[in-house]
Amino acid sequence: MALTIFQKSILAAQRKDAERGPIIYAPVRAIIYERVNLDNATEGLVKVGGNVYTRDSSGNYQKIVDADDVSHTKYVAKIVQSSTNDPVATVYENTFSGTPVWTRTGAGRYSCTLTGEFTAKTVCIVQWDIYQSGSFGNGYQIAMTKANSNSCAFWQNNKVNAGADTLGAYIEIRVYK
């Protein structure tokens, strides 16, 4: 089975981490969320033959990425956060117009801000992966929505659907042209 571009990015990021020193990986279930947020659109992506579609508010599919025109900018990073601190990003690739600023906005709630960067064709791919000792990742979910053209909002819920701090995730945010 061939690896997706995102899986290759994650493996490259993990290799870079391994080169920096010892890291403890806990065996947990990886949850990958792919979300796109367009004006008046619901979450979810469908990829058919290189084209990417999303559903509008009526449930109809709309093509947002054409297989022949896949130019995009992207931000690939490992995001960690604990206690009430703001998240810290280890950036592996950034072709955005600047460096996004990460902020903790509440328990398990985070904002990624970069003025004017997040257009209607913003896609976020999140892979939950514990790279610290412990077992807090099992059953946690991370999701994203585009708040406006300046920021994306992320939130993490635990097994009982309550906001949960102590974030640890590899993410890739793509903005298609």
Of 47, 90, 92, 51, the residue nearest 74 (C-alpha): 92
Q: How many domains does the chain have?
A: 1
Read off the pTM.
0.58
Give me the pLDDT at residue 70, please: 64
Question: What rounded mean pLDDT belongs to the chain?
Answer: 67
| Residue 91 domain-assigned (yes or no) | yes
Residue 48 included in any domain? no
Flag whether 59 is in a domain.
no
- pLDDT above 70 covers a percentage of the chain that reads 42
> Please, is 8 exposed, middle or buried when counting C-beta atoms within 10 Å of its C-beta (0-12, 13-18, 19+)?
exposed
The answer as to whether 42 is a domain residue is no
In a domain, 63, yes or no: no
Does the structure show a pLDDT above 80 at 147? no
Residue 46 domain-assigned (yes or no): no
The answer to whether the beta carbons of residues 114 and 101 sit under 8 Å apart is: yes
136 vs 93: CA distance, rounded Å = 27
Task: Categorize the per-residue pLDDT at 168 as very low, low, confident or very high, splitting at 50, 70 and 90.
Answer: confident
Q: How confident is the model at residue 108 (pLDDT cuts 50, 70, 90)?
A: confident
For 28, the domain range is: 5-37+70-176
**pLDDT above 70 for 163:** no
Q: Which residues contact 72 (CB under 8 A, 6 or more apart)?
A: 65, 174, 175, 176, 177
Q: What is the reported pLDDT for 93?
A: 93
Q: ∠ at Cα 168 (42, 113), nearest 5°? A: 55
101, pLDDT greater than 90: yes
Beta bridge partners of 30: none
Inside any domain, residue 55: no
Q: What type of residue sits at position 58?
A: S
Q: Is 153 left (phi over 0), alpha (psi -120 to 50) or beta?
A: beta
